């Protein structure tokens, strides 16, 4: 059933309690997600976004309980990705002539995905659509996080429908930010930014400053995933500006995988050395083969430095470490330092491979790394502690 959030706006989305991965298997959703969409009623009625296709029939059935579908005058698609547009086929079968308002890139995307030439109305920043007493104002938001993305602002109610921006993959019955579990909300918000929006940080800052320059009053931010920001909605905008500004905390994250625990022993000794040299820094240790990759990326995002370790295998590195390094490279982190470490039996190439990958990913290498042959003995572990101390002193 819908949830009335103002006199003219009703939430008509779907909560996906069972979702555990997103973007295929690329993004973990420990707390599920929601596909938020909204009915805006005035003299004219607009539907803003739809839901993912597995829920298309449920969505349309629920929508019919809220409104006669023929009374929907406009459909606004802020972003063409299937978790937002997936119910369009089902919906448009019922109201095929209803105009769809979206960006030029979104029209191209929707035609490419659904192979339908619906009644597309292309909009750009500053374009307006009158609903009667209120207007919808469109704001293009390219690469936040697709080329087709846009925001929609509702005058009178002072609501920004922000699509993916400011959202979280978080299914909760408490639809508003002030009612939600604050720890879970913050964790899912920073995880979402770290794993999805980091590569576009410069554009995030630029777009937020542009929107703020319009001096539009803001009562609420209605996202497409997670909670609606109604209590001090500016707080998440401030967080985004902070996260977009080469974000880091006083944290060092150690990531490793190990074949016979030798690299694990190195990692623990390095951690001991860091702690001995710096009692204040936060140190987090993760086995990449056993820890959720998106949770690791979130900690990388928060860190001022990362240490990455792997045993040498087949003249290369362990697959879990290779995978996390590929993710790190794609996210284009800025203003972070790094170093490599690892154990080996005869080849010993892992440290050099990791160092090169970290450098290619934009990290400043603290040193050439640390490698230990076979099982680290007492002297080798002492050297690893000294290596950790050197890391701590690099700041």
Tell me the pLDDT tens digit for each residue of 3-28: 999 999 999 999 999 999 999 999 99
DSSP 189: H
pLDDT of residue 341: 98
User: Which one of 23, 26, 68, 178 is the catalytic residue?
Assistant: 23
Instruction: Give the whole-angstrom CA distance, residue 253 versus residue 261.
Output: 19
Q: Is 30 a catalytic residue?
A: no
pLDDT of residue 146: 87
As separate numbers, helices (DSSP H) first and strands (DSSP E) second, the chain gives 12, 25
pLDDT of residue 28: 98
Q: Which ranges in the chain are annotated with CATH 3.60.15.10?
A: 3-243
pLDDT of residue 211: 92
pLDDT along the chain (395 residues), means of 10: 94 98 96 98 98 97 97 98 97 98 98 97 98 98 90 98 97 97 98 97 94 94 98 97 97 98 98 98 98 98 98 97 98 97 96 98 98 98 98 96
Q: Is 84 a catalytic residue?
A: no
Instruction: Give the whole-angstrom CA distance, residue 135 versus residue 128.
Output: 6
DSSP symbols for 84-117: HHTTHHHHHHHSTT--EEE-HHHHHHHHHHH---
**Cβ–Cβ under 8 Å, residues 306 and 255:** yes
CATH, domain 252-392, list 3.40.50.360, 3.40.640.10, 3.30.1640.10, 3.40.50.620 = 3.40.50.360
Instruction: Give the whole-angstrom CA distance, residue 113 versus residue 107.
Output: 10
From residue 262, give the alpha-carbon distance in Å to each of 28, 58, 374, 377: 29, 52, 7, 10
The H or E element spanning position 267 is helix 262-277
| Secondary structure class of 6 (helix, strand, coil) | coil
**Cβ–Cβ under 8 Å, residues 332 and 199:** yes
Instruction: Give the whole-angstrom CA distance, residue 208 versus residue 237.
Output: 8
Instruction: Give the whole-angstrom CA distance, residue 392 versus residue 394.
Output: 6
User: Which one of 42, 83, 157, 383 is the catalytic residue?
Assistant: 83
Q: Is 23 a catalytic residue?
A: yes
**Cβ–Cβ under 8 Å, residues 10 and 65:** no
pLDDT of residue 144: 83
- What lies within 8 Å, CB to CB, of 371 at 6+ separation is 341, 342, 343, 344, 348, 350, 351
Q: Which ranges in the chain are annotated with CATH 3.40.50.360?
A: 252-392
**Cβ–Cβ under 8 Å, residues 76 and 102:** yes
User: Which one of 74, 170, 192, 240 is the catalytic residue?
Assistant: 192
Instruction: Give the whole-angstrom CA distance, residue 393 versus residue 88.
Output: 56
From residue 45, give the alpha-carbon distance in Å to each of 1, 177, 388: 18, 26, 61
User: Which one of 79, 193, 256, 299 is the catalytic residue?
Assistant: 79
Q: Is 169 a catalytic residue?
A: no
Q: State the first-to-last Cα distance of the chain, in angstroms, to the nearest integer.
A: 54
Q: Is 115 a catalytic residue?
A: no
User: Which one of 16, 38, 140, 145 is the catalytic residue?
Assistant: 145
User: Which one of 164, 257, 278, 299 is the catalytic residue?
Assistant: 164
pLDDT of residue 46: 98
Domain 3-243 CATH assignment equals 3.60.15.10: yes
pLDDT of residue 16: 98
Instruction: Give the whole-angstrom CA distance, residue 191 versus residue 237.
Output: 15
pTM of the model: 0.96
User: Which one of 74, 225, 247, 299 is the catalytic residue?
Assistant: 225
User: Which one of 56, 81, 278, 299 is the catalytic residue?
Assistant: 81
Tell me the HSE value of 23 on the side-chain side, using a 13 A CA sphere: 10
């Amino acid at each position: 059933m819908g949830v009335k959030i103002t006199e003219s706006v009703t939430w008509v989305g779907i909560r996906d309690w069972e979702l555990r991965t997103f973007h295929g298997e690329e993004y973990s959703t420990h707390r599920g997600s929601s596909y938020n969409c909204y009915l805006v009623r005035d003299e004219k009625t607009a539907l803003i976004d739809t839901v993912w296709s597995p829920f298309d029939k449920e969505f349309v059935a629920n929508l019919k309980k809220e409104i006669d579908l023929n009374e929907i005058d406009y459909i606004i698609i802020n972003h063409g990705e299937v978790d937002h547009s997936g119910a369009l086929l089902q919906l448009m079968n019922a109201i095929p002539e209803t105009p769809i308002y979206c960006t030029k890139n979104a029209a191209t995307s929707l035609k490419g995905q659904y192979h339908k030439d619906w009644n597309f109305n292309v909009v750009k920043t500053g374009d307006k659509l009158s609903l009667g007493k209120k207007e919808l104002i469109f704001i293009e938001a390219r690469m936040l996080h697709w080329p087709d993305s846009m925001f929609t602002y509702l005058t009178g109610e002072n609501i920004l429908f922000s699509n993916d921006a400011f959202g979280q993959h978080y299914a909760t019955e408490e639809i508003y930010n002030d009612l939600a579990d604050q720890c879970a909300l913050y964790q899912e918000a920073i995880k979402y930014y770290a794993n999805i929006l980091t590569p576009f940080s410069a554009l995030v800052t630029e777009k937020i400053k542009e929107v703020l320059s319009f001096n539009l009053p803001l009562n609420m931010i209605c996202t497409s995933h997670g909670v609606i920001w109604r209590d001090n909605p500016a707080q998440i905008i401030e967080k985004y500006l902070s996260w977009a500004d080469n974000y880091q905390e006083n944290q060092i994250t150690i990531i490793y995988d190990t074949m016979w625990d030798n690299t694990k022993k190195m990692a623990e000794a390095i951690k001991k050395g860091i702690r001995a040299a710096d009692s204040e820094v936060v140190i987090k240790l993760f086995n990449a083969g056993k820890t959720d990759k998106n949770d690791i990326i979130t900690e990388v995002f928060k860190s001022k430095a990362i240490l990455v370790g792997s045993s040498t295998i087949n003249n290369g590195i362990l697959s879990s470490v290779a995978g996390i390094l590929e993710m790190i490279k794609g996210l284009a982190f800025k203003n972070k330092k790094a170093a490599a470490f690892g154990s080996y039996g005869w080849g010993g190439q892992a440290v050099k491979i990791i160092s090169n990958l970290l450098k290619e990913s934009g990290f400043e290498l603290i040193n050439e790394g640390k490698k230990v042959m076979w099982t680290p003995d007492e002297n080798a572990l002492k050297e690893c502690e000294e290596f950790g101390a050197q890391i701590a002193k690099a700041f």
